Amino acid sequence: MPYSQLLSPYTLGKFTLKNRVVMGSMHTNLEELPEGFERLAAFYGERAKGQVGLIITGGISPNQAGILAPNRSVLNSVEGIVEHQLITKEVKSHGTKICMQILHAGRYAFHPKQVAPSAIQAPISPYCPIALSDEQVHQQISDFVNCAKLAQKAGYDGVEIMGSEGYLINQFIVKATNHRDDQWGGSYENRIRFAVEIVKQTRLALGNDFLIIFRLSLLDLINEGSTFDEVILLANALENAGVDVFNSGIGWHESRIPTIASGVPRAAFSSLSQRLKRHVCVPVITSNRINTPEVAEILLQQGHGDFISMARPFLADSQFVAKAMAQQSELINTCIACNQACLDNIFVNLPASCIVNPRACNETLMPFLPASKRKHIAVIGGGAAGMAFAIYASERGHSVTLFEKRAQLGGQLLLAANVPGKEEFKETLRYFKAKLKILNVQVKCNTHVNIDHVTMFEHCVIATGVKGAVPTIEGILHSSVVPYHKVLSGGVKLGTKVAIIGAGGIGFDVASYIIDKAKTAPNSDEFAAQWGVDLTVNLPGGVAKKPDKVVNETCVYLLQRKLRKHGADLGKTTGWIHREHLKQQGVKMLAAINYEKIDDKGLHISVRNRERLLEVDNIILCAGQQPVRPDFITQLKAKNIPLSYIGGALEANKLDLQRAIGEAFTLAQTL
């Protein structure tokens, strides 16, 4: 059997989990919306139907002080049970187990009434916490226990106690955030007392037939964090207190080291759960940057954990496990670790969704029903928008022909996949191609479409994409000027000094391509060295010294006219990673530029009226996009063939994968 470990059952006390796949906790922002719990029930229900073994819900606070932000969900009274029952009933109807995560944000709470072991403000919070009195600490523990009791009443099989990522429990454990001198602070034994008491009292109150998972911070990635020896001491104390399973947590939210973004190697931190396993008797869940059944299976076989936790991969594909069971892993819509529609949405108070699966968290709003009438549809353009539309329309029952002028499908996706750290885009391409094949979509590459190709269709979808915009600068036609697509497709040999005009997403991608293209993707150890991570965790928090700035053989200038930080429009949770990386690699970022002219000497610019010459060999244009549209639109209209535009052909400005796939989905739903 493929994935023989991953798909094998596991018995935990009175519970048998049907496989080793855990859908990890992630906040969706749905709880706070009208009918939010109905939407959550549908969201989790689809994943349960897709055969996941265990679901851990998003974090629910045990009291008001612990909520992450105003209006976030609390479970502290029997009145709250009813809405949770919607979730448990739905999930259990598919034979999947479900645990509720109890999360107390402590000083990470985004409100002024936040509490913590000590009054030390988090670098990512505008508020300073109130230090808890001894009596209040006891009250927090009682609130955790009460919350677990209510979870049991609501039908959950257990709880996950959130002890990692820098939330309240973690704040007690670590010296940096716990300056107390009473029984809850000082020695390590005192600092872990809060965590241990929560588990001990929860076990006492709920008996043995209720799962207690503890999310343990294996690597804090902050100064004065725990060492691995301390983590083991804590794990042993928690095991004695009654923990059934350990889940792995990596990195506090305030840490400036990436832990889940696409540039992090797959399973980069799983060696730590493997190490934990040697010191505890209960099972261990490994996590972080695991997004395919193949990787998951290898990790289990190599003893990195007893279970695999994946969170975002279940936003990308609700049927991940079912497809693995059916030996159809090529049909899994893989999470590309971009954070763009999940975490980044949460930061702007939108419900989470997924860039490659717009239905995620919108299951009740976007029912995907068969079309009432089968139509013959032509799609012109085989980039992300065109491929996604062809798939969705075909799934609804339409007969679709997809035309692409190049030899292969992919469009901008092909370019993105060439950017170091963005290799996951290849998975999206693989998924699209596998789906087009299984759905029998007619794909016609190498076809420059004209009116004769499309006259027999009932609807024509224009998904012809974008081309790079050419700014008006004196000398723009100089031979040193290169459009970004030629660079990213490997079509030009650049000199050793280059200037990039435009510091948006594509400007960053091009800079990264130039400085990293000759290197192979880093493995976990290389990644750790690059970001100053001590994977042995002998150093407190696993924080090591970062290497000095690298001197690259290519000198790269990344230029923008605006006076603001570079990459300001990049994703909230990933933009800083790209910026840090380019800075570390010595990319020179200049802002408030005026482009004066281009000539044989290079690029002439002025910055605040001071003229400067950048003596560069090449100037790469990343100055936005323009739509590309076919030249037979008037003829199409004359023949009364209905047509629709999607993706860059509709609007080139700020076109990204999320909009391309989202528009494809919306259009396919309406035809």
Binding site for ligand SF4 (CB under 6 A): 312, 315-316, 335-342, 354-356
User: Which of 562/583 has CB closer to ligand NAP?
Assistant: 562
Of 75 and 343, the one with the shorter C-beta distance to ligand SF4 is: 343
CB 374 within 8 A of CB 397: yes
* Residue 140 or 262 having the CB closest to ligand SF4: 262
Q: For residue 646, with 0-12 CB atoms within 10 Å meaning exposed, 13-18 middle and 19 or more buried, which class applies?
A: buried
Contact status: 506 vs ligand NAP (CB under 6 A) = yes
Q: Binding of ligand NAP at residue 569 (CB under 6 A)? A: yes
Per CB under 6 A, contacts with ligand NAP among 333-372 are none
- Among residues 333, 442, 332, 322, which one has the least CA distance to residue 393? 442
- Among ligand NAP, ligand SF4, none, residue 561 binds (CB under 5-8 Å by kind): ligand NAP
Minimal distance in Å, beta carbon 477 to ligand SF4?
38
Q: Does 517 bind ligand NAP (CB under 6 A)?
A: no
Q: How far is the CB of 530 from ligand SF4 (least distance, A)?
A: 21
Cβ 10 to ligand SF4 shortest distance, Å? 26
Q: Which two tokens stand for residue 250?
A: 């990596």
Q: Which of 501, 555, 589, 603 binds ligand NAP (CB under 6 A)?
A: 501
Report if residue 513 touches ligand NAP, rule: CB under 6 A.
no
Tokens of 464: 């012809």
d(CA 40, CA 53): 18
The residue to which tokens 């009432």 are assigned? 372
Q: Which of 43, 194, 508, 513 binds ligand NAP (CB under 6 A)?
A: 508
- Paired sense of beta strands 15-17 and 10-12, if any: antiparallel
Q: What angle (nearest 5°) sits at the alpha carbon of residue 12, between those of residues 11 and 14?
A: 90
* Eight-class DSSP state of 465: -
Helix, strand, coil fractions of the chain, as percent rounded to 5? 35, 20, 50
- State yes or no: residue 511 binds ligand NAP (CB under 6 A): no
Give, as one character, the DSSP assignment of residue 36: H
Q: Which does 389 bind (CB under 5 to 8 A by kind): ligand NAP, ligand SF4, none?
A: none
Q: Which of 342, 488, 528, 622 binds ligand NAP (CB under 6 A)?
A: 622
Rounded CA separation 154/486 (Å): 57
467 is a site residue for ligand NAP (CB under 6 A): no
Q: By C-alpha distance, which of 219, 124, 206, 132 is closest to 168?
A: 132
Q: Which residues pair with 247 in a beta bridge?
A: 215, 285
Q: How far is the CB of 272 from ligand NAP (least distance, A)?
A: 28
Q: Where are the alpha helices (DSSP H) in 404-546?
A: 412-417, 425-438, 451-454, 484-488, 505-516, 524-531
Nearer to ligand NAP, 331 or 556 (CB): 556
- CA-to-CA distance for 85 and 73, rounded, in angstroms? 15
Distances (CA, A) of 322 to 47, 48, 427, 459, 484: 9, 10, 18, 34, 40
Is 623 a binding residue for ligand NAP by CB under 6 A? The answer is: yes
User: Is residue 167 annotated as part of the catalytic site, yes or no?
Assistant: yes
One-letter amino acid at 86 equals L
Binder among 158, 249, 420, 504 for ligand NAP (CB under 6 A): 504
- Output the smallest distance, CB 566 to ligand NAP, in A: 8
171 binds, among ligand SF4, ligand NAP, none (CB under 5 to 8 A by kind): none
Q: How far is the CB of 381 from ligand NAP (least distance, A)?
A: 17
d(C-alpha 435, C-alpha 334), whole Å: 13
Question: In which element (H, E) is residue 196 found?
Answer: helix 193-206
| Among residues 63, 357, 560, 585, the one that binds ligand NAP under rule CB under 6 A | 560
First-to-last C-alpha distance (Å) of the chain: 41
Q: Which is nearer to ligand SF4, 23 or 151 (CB)?
A: 23
Q: How far apart are CA 185 and CA 189, in angstroms?
A: 8
Q: DSSP class of residue 186?
A: S
Q: Which stretch binds ligand NAP (CB under 6 A): 441-449, 451-459, 650-658, 661-669?
A: 650-658
Instruction: Rule CB under 6 A: say whether 418 interacts with ligand NAP.
Output: no
Is 42 or 623 the residue whose CB approaches ligand NAP more closely?
623
Q: Is 505 in the site for ligand NAP (CB under 6 A)?
A: yes
Number of shown-chain residues binding ligand NAP (CB under 6 A): 24
- Cα gap 464→447, rounded to integer Å: 12
- DSSP per-residue codes, 92-121: HTTT-EEEEEE---GGG-SSTT-EESS---
CB of 533 to ligand SF4, least distance (A): 21
Is residue 649 close enough to count as binding ligand NAP by CB under 6 A? no
Binding flag, residue 624, ligand NAP (CB under 6 A): yes
Is 561 one of the binding residues for ligand NAP (CB under 6 A)? yes
* Cβ neighbours for 31, distance < 8 A, ≥ 6 positions apart: 37, 40, 58, 60, 72, 73
Cα separation, 201 vs 137, whole angstroms = 14
Contact 50, 23 (CB under 8 A): no
Binding segment toward ligand NAP, per CB under 6 A, in 151-159, 258-266, 393-401, 617-625? 617-625
Look at residue 268 and give the partner it binds from ligand SF4, ligand NAP, none, a contact being a CB closer than 5 to 8 Å depending on partner kind. Answer: none
Q: Which of 471, 490, 491, 547 binds ligand NAP (CB under 6 A)?
A: 471
Task: Tell the smallest beta-carbon distance from residue 507 to ligand NAP (Å).
Answer: 5
- Residue placing its CB nearer to ligand SF4 in the complex, 268 or 355: 355
Give the one entry of ligand SF4, ligand NAP, none that residue 354 binds, where binding means its C-beta sits below a cut-off of 5 to 8 angstroms depending on kind: ligand SF4
Note whether 625 binds ligand NAP by CB under 6 A.
yes
Say whether residue 232 binds ligand NAP (CB under 6 A): no
Q: What is the DSSP string of 354-423?
A: -TT-TTTT-TTTS-----SS--EEEEE--SHHHHHHHHHHHHTT-EEEEE-SSSSS-THHHHHHTSTT-T
Question: By the 8 A CB rule, do 501 and 621 touch?
Answer: yes
C-alpha triplet 235, 239, 244: angle, nearest 5°: 115
Q: Is 509 in the site for ligand NAP (CB under 6 A)?
A: yes
Strand order of the β-sheet with 643-645 is: 442-444, 399-403, 376-380, 459-462, 643-645
Q: How far is the CB of 391 from ligand SF4 (least distance, A)?
A: 16
Six-digit token pair at 645?
């535009």
Residue in this structure with the two tokens 């190049």, named with its chain if needed? 406
> Closer to ligand SF4 at the Cβ: 297 or 317?
317
The residue among 430 and 561 lying less far from ligand NAP, judged by its C-beta, is 561
| Residue 625 DSSP SS3 | strand
Residue 471 touches which member of ligand SF4, ligand NAP, none, C-beta under 5-8 Å by kind: ligand NAP
Give the active site residue among 44, 108, 156, 167. 167
656 binds ligand NAP (CB under 6 A): yes
By beta-carbon proximity to ligand NAP, the closer residue of 307 and 508 is 508
CB of 63 to ligand NAP, least distance (A): 37
Is 648 a residue that touches ligand NAP (CB under 6 A)?
Answer: no
- Kindly tell me which of 273 and 339 has the beta carbon lying closer to ligand SF4: 339
Question: 211-219 and 15-17 as β-strands: parallel, antiparallel, unpaired?
Answer: unpaired
Which residues are marked as active site?
A: 167
Q: Which residues bind ligand NAP (CB under 6 A)?
A: 471, 501-509, 560-562, 569-571, 578, 622-625, 654-656
